[in-house]
Amino acid sequence: MDTQKNLDYYALYLQSMSKNDLKKISITTIGCRLNQYESEKMAAELYPYGFQRVNEGERADLYLINTCTVTHKADSSCRKYIRQAARQNPNGNIVVTGCYVDNDPEKIAGMEGVDIILKNSEKNDLINIIPHKLPDLFNREPDKNCSTLVTDFYDRNRAWLKISDGCNQWCSFCIIPTVRGRIKNRSALEIIDEINSLVEHGYNEVVLTGVHIGHYRNRKTEPQMKNLAALCKFIIAETDLCRLRISSIEPQTVRDEFVEVYGNSGGRICRHIHLPLQSGSSRILQMMRRPYDQKTYIKRAESLKNANPDTVIGADVIVGFPGETEDDFLRTCRVAESGLIDYLHVFSYSDRPNTDASKLPDKVRPDIIKKRNSVLNRISNRIRERSYKNQIGKTLEVISQHKREDDGTFYGISDNFIKVKLPSSNEQSKEIIKVKVTDAKINYVIGNIIY
């Protein structure tokens, strides 16, 4: 059954059931785009059992909370959402999965209202686990005509697609390899099939996601799939996808072949690369066990900008890593303001359990971390504003976000990751809208739609 027919069937199937028959499911995702994809995959597995999706904050029969544990703040957010679900419906059932479960299963299992915890390795088997433990929610046979393919992203006009999982890098501060395991890459043919299904459903943008997608390869079963560049070329050749976005790629994996594919994609690979920096100090990068130094980072960022001068580059930065001096921090500031980076995601260092960094001496005082975080966020605002002003007079191709603002407007995202305020008359959809930019604000640009 093709994608659109399946969606039409699912809508009719829900309409044919009485409201009393429908079981409501609320899905909350904390963290990365990989988690976003996996949440939609789990939802697709549950839909054949007659579940109707409701928004976060609405009363539901089943709450599925997909967690993150990249920082202690992420842990805190996960606990908050679990407590909220328990309050919204004390008689509802709560299933918690994701990285925080792998990190601290006892703590999650002991929280009030939690019925089931699923480790990351169990996500693919949830449809066998949950019905066994919560039989009252699964009192009918699944509808075999309802596909379990990921063909829709709830309240989103752009789609994510998981191409790999896990990480082999073992940075000294990071817990992700512990909770996600080693790299596991998906088949390129499977990726192509899923992209084609998403295109059939009307999606014009797909974001490739994973923990370490720059190390994608599948040479054992698909010899031609030797790296991410080969996968991108395959996607461009075998799908009608308008734009392919690379979510985040490690600097050392930006090889010449990838830069060539990126530069020659004819705009089908988005002019936006998220290139994690973490620190501008080579000394700190070595302590972090990042496999590049400051010069390598700058060289790879320059290669992307040279391949397409309109490329927008974002960077993750950690402030307050153990032993970070004022000189180390100033080196980070200089790289951030070099003109190569267009925005920052700034994280304050926090010890993750059993990581090597957590055992290092010379911890940076919290007040200094807070001050440095503030400085980098101000830099990020300046360089983002500069990037936005550079768009004035240019025409951007924009996909609107699903959420309507209070004043009736929508914001959209351009292929080079510029936030665009769209007129209130704009219809929210997955279509690509051309906008000629006339002005730039601090956090967005505005312009006229070209019909």
What pLDDT is stored for residue 17 in this prediction?
Answer: 53
Backbone phi, psi, residue 248, to 5°: -160, 135
Helix (H, G, I), strand (E, B) or coil at 310: coil
pTM, full prediction: 0.91
Q: Among positive and negative, which fits the CA dihedral 46, 59, 66, 156?
A: positive
Amino acid at 168: N
pLDDT digits (tens), the chain, 451 positions: 454 555 555 555 555 555 556 899 999 999 999 999 999 999 999 999 999 999 888 899 999 999 999 999 999 999 999 999 999 999 999 999 999 999 999 999 999 999 999 999 999 999 999 999 999 999 888 887 887 778 888 889 999 999 999 999 999 999 999 999 999 999 999 999 999 999 999 999 999 999 999 999 999 899 999 999 999 999 999 999 999 999 899 999 999 999 999 999 999 999 999 999 999 999 999 999 999 999 999 999 999 999 998 999 999 999 999 999 999 999 999 999 999 999 999 999 999 999 999 999 999 999 999 999 999 999 999 999 999 999 999 999 999 987 777 777 789 999 999 999 987 666 678 999 999 999 999 899 999 999 8
Q: How far apart are CA 179 and CA 170, in angstroms?
A: 12
Helix (H, G, I), strand (E, B) or coil at 115: strand
When the candidates are 3.40.50.620, 3.40.190.90, 3.40.50.2300, 3.90.1150.10, the CATH number that belongs to 3-137 is 3.40.50.2300
Sheet holding 23-29: strands in order across?
51-54, 23-29, 62-67, 93-98, 114-118
- Are 237 and 432 in contact by the 8 Å Cβ rule? The answer is no
Fold classification of 156-274 (topology level): Transcription Regulator spoIIAA (3.30.750)
Domain ranges of the chain: 3-137, 156-274, 395-449
- Tell me the two tokens of residue 237: 């050749």
Strand segments, DSSP code E, in 213-275 are 243-246, 269-274
Q: How far apart are CA 24 and CA 42, in angstroms?
A: 14
State the residue for tokens 């007129």. 423
Per 3-state DSSP, the chain is made up of helix, strand and coil in percentages (nearest 5) of 40, 20, 40
